[in-house]
Amino acid sequence: MGRTLLVRLAGQNEEERAATIKRLDVRAAVLARLIARPGGLVRPALHLIRNTESDDVSAVIAHLDNAMERPAARQGTG
């Protein structure tokens, strides 16, 4: 999206560019609000995730490291 947006902005005059940036600011604010204060079905899902995730930071990091290694191993066998 970034490159497309830059191309679009480059082709706009000052007034159009200001309007585009204003729309993007509004969209970013809405997205930030949804992330900061999730509601609806997202809230129970987040609660479930928080209650079931591990507090063992070392184990989580090891699990993530292993998850990153598995796809690389599959690519090497293809």
pLDDT, residue 29, reads: 95
Span 52-70, mean pLDDT?
88
- C-alpha 24/C-alpha 58 separation (Å) is 39
Answer for the pair 60, 49: CB distance below 8 angstroms, yes or no: no
- What does the longest C-alpha to C-alpha distance in the chain come to? 55
Task: Name the percent of the chain lying above pLDDT 90.
Answer: 42
Question: How large is the average pLDDT for residues 31-53?
Answer: 87
Residues 6+ apart with CB under 8 A from 12: 20
